[in-house]
Amino acid sequence: MAERLLVEAVNDALHVEMERDSSVLVLGEDVGKLGGVFRATVGLQERFGADRCVDTPLAEAGILGTAVGLCMAGWRPVVEMQYDAFSYPALDQLINHVGRYRWRTRGMMSFPLTIRMPYGGGVRAPELHDDSPETYYVHTPGVKVAIPSTPADAKGLLAAAIRDEDPVVVLEPKLHYRSAKEDVPDGEHVVPLGRSRIAREGTDVTIVAYGAMVHVALAAAESLGHEASCEVLDLRSLKPLDEDGLLASVAKTGRVVVVQEAPRVCGFAAEVAAVLAERAIFDLRGPVVRVTGYDVPYPYWQLEDAYMPSESRVVDAVRRVLAA
Amino acid sequence: MSRVLPAEGDLRRVIGDGESVPDGEVDGLGADDLLSLYRNLVLLRTYDERSVIYHRQGRIGTYAIFWNHEAMQAGSVFALEDRDWIFPAYRESAIGLLRGMPVATVLSWWRGHPSGWWNPEEWGVASICVPIATQIPHAVGFAWGSALKGEDRVALALFGDGATSEGSFHEGATFAGVMKAPVVLFCNNNQWAISTPLSEQTAAATLADKAIGYGMPSLRVDGGDVLAVYEATREAVERARAGGGPTFIEAVTYRAAPHATADDPSIYVDAERVEEERENECVGRYERYLLRKGVLTDALALEIRGEALETLRAGIAQAEAEPPANVSLVFDHAYAEPPPSQAHDLAELRRILGG
């Protein structure tokens, strides 16, 4: 066990998995010599060579498209998209091919590629360095999606993604790349996809969150203190979704607030609310309330704190749910 | 490093016209090879012509016609080894036949039956790519990835003139150049993207000139001349195997048939020009060449055409004899490990269908 920042845990996972499996290959913009703009891939090129940690042209569809071909040649590519919104040019490949190719071969070929990217706001960055694009990925058949909130999960979920036979998108909360050091298991560490984590136990209300919003949920739960006993459920993986874990928590509390940083309409919180409406309606003692980003472009960073779901907005939502 | 120059202006040709243009020859091709090429052309032509009929009979769905593209497909594939991979667009849907893929498999694809979806590893033929140009980065990644593993495998990506306007072409070609990928980018320039003529597709003087920007050599060839296509592709494949990286081939032809069975080209094409092109179509040109050379006789040509027709008859019968697909195939294979919700969805669907 060692104390590591979240970005160091990502780096550790890449080292461990590349050591373990010589078919794992990292590619992306500036991932080699520089070690990535966030230094997530630092040291990989020195350790594994320029053939296994590849600096690519600035072409996201080309990166993901060649990664599909690399799978056909027997590699397990780990693609870095430099920022959340920079991944949009690659949606063509993701939707048309990455999510469909296994099906297209009737399961006879696997496309075990991992797409990792920093996501989310709160970092005082220029436009399009702060998006939360998870819905696009979750909505794509054939693709799995994981979002860690802690250094240990960042390592374990990335390891699970790399080992998975299906394509997995891993969104890393860039706001928390360097926010705190936490214990991370040494060596091989795998957190299976599809298992949520109770980040804080409680009995009155379940706050469902993932990624950076887990920290907001925990802060809100803390500040509510004796007013309400809040359970914080960290989903960790959006697809597959741990419906059993979600239902178990809601069966206990009967009240739910779902927090997401992305815009509201058709966001993942809507999926959580729909699952609860279909499968837990008789456990619910009030409406499911969403706390989300607004349905506008992510704002100028001087206003981003007003846009981002905040501790006070979550506290407000919990109070409304308890009063219903 | 060799300099990258603009492509030759004239199209490379081997087959003459039987009058003023003399016939050439391609080194290294014996009579057996020449006849194999002819069989391949006839098989593709028969597949295409029968498919249009099968569509009209309601036996296959909408079909993308490749009439007069056979020389580009047969000629380029003839320059490959079996270990090399082909990355087809939908216009090359039947290119697997050249690798021994059953006719029934390809017909089943156009019938929308799961038995038409093959294993690329079995044939060295990637899945039919429907979205334009997006298979180009796959071919580049495969070629580059094979080279990284020290494997001697070349990739052949086939696409049309319209594809050269797509971002995927640009990004794939960029990667091919930078990674020195052993890949052949083979453009079937049939001068039409459904109703859009080449003049509205690009302001470039030739498509081959685009290759300069990617640092790769290019060449232009008569796409109706199977021997010229073969020779050009062989040169590109040799360069790729020798570590010389990618080549862009512009094969120029003319789409003398509708884009697909759902298309009505009479709205936009010049009927007289199409008639001219149809008279000069690629299978007939090669057939006359072989007759002039004494490699082929009318009797043998008839026999080869008869065999191809028989293969198609057996193929459609086999495709139509496929049992109805199991409804579980709606869900199977989307994931190696599907989310738990899929088992629930399948059970519910089965209950409702009463299966």
Q: Tell me: pLDDT of B110 over 80.
A: yes
Q: B65: closest CA among B200, B264, B302, B269?
A: B264
Q: Do A72 and B172 touch (CB under 8 A)?
A: no
Q: Tell me: pLDDT of A192 over 80.
A: yes
Q: Tell me: pLDDT of A17 over 90.
A: yes
Question: For residues A323 and B17, what is the distance between their CA atoms, to the nearest angstrom?
Answer: 89
Give the number of C-alpha atoms closer than 13 A to the C-alpha of residue A30, restricted to the C-beta side: 9
Amino acid at A207: I
Is residue A85 within 8 Å of A123, Cβ to Cβ? no
What integer is the mean pLDDT of A236-243? 98
Q: B194: closest CA among B266, B253, B131, B265?
A: B265
Q: Which helix (H) or strand (E) holds A53?
A: strand A53-55
Quick check: is A97 catalytic? no
Q: A24: closest CA among A94, A85, A102, A79?
A: A79
pLDDT: which is higher, B270 or A205: A205
The pLDDT tens digits for B172-214 are 999 999 999 999 999 999 999 999 999 999 999 999 999 999 9
- The alpha-carbon gap from B84 to the nearest alpha carbon of chain A, in Å, equals 11
Q: Looking at residue B8, what is its pLDDT?
A: 63
B113 touches chain A (CB under 8 A): no
Question: For residues B280 and B67, what is the distance between their CA atoms, to the nearest angstrom?
Answer: 12
- The alpha-carbon gap from A79 to the nearest alpha carbon of chain B, in Å, equals 13
Q: Which residues of A touch B (CB under 8 A)?
A: 25, 51, 56-57, 59, 61-62, 64-75, 89, 92-93, 96-97, 101-110, 141-142, 144, 164-166, 194, 239-241, 243
Task: Give B 183-212 residues with CB within 8 A of chain A.
Answer: none
Tokens of A2: 């060692």
Q: Tell me: pLDDT of A19 over 50.
A: yes
pLDDT-derived band at B2 (thresholds 50, 70, 90) equals: very low
Q: B230: closest CA among B336, B343, B71?
A: B71
Q: What DSSP line would sit under A38-79, residue for residue?
A: TSTTTTHHHHH-TTTEEE--S-HHHHHHHHHHHHHTT-EEEE
The DSSP code for B241 is H
Q: A65: closest CA among A33, A88, A42, A94?
A: A94
| Chain B residues touching residue A96 (CB < 8 angstroms) | 130-131, 134
The pLDDT tens digits for B286-301 are 999 999 999 999 999 9
| Chain A residues touching residue B86 (CB < 8 angstroms) | none
Please enumerate in sequence order all residues whose Cβ is within 8 A of that of A248, keeping only pairs 6 or more positions apart, or say none.
none
The pLDDT tens digits for A208-236 are 999 999 999 999 999 998 999 999 999 99
Backbone torsion region of residue A236, taken as left when φ is above 0, otherwise alpha when ψ lies between -120 and 50, otherwise beta? left
Quick check: is B255 catalytic? yes
Tokens of B309: 């027709």
The ipTM value here is 0.96
Mean residue pLDDT across chain B: 95
Radius of gyration of chain A (CA): 19
Please enumerate in sequence order all residues whose Cβ is within 8 A of that of A167, keeping only pairs 6 or more positions apart, or say none.
A98, A99, A111, A112, A113, A114, A115, A142, A143, A144
- The alpha-carbon gap from B322 to the nearest alpha carbon of chain A, in Å, equals 16
The answer to pTM > 0.90 is yes
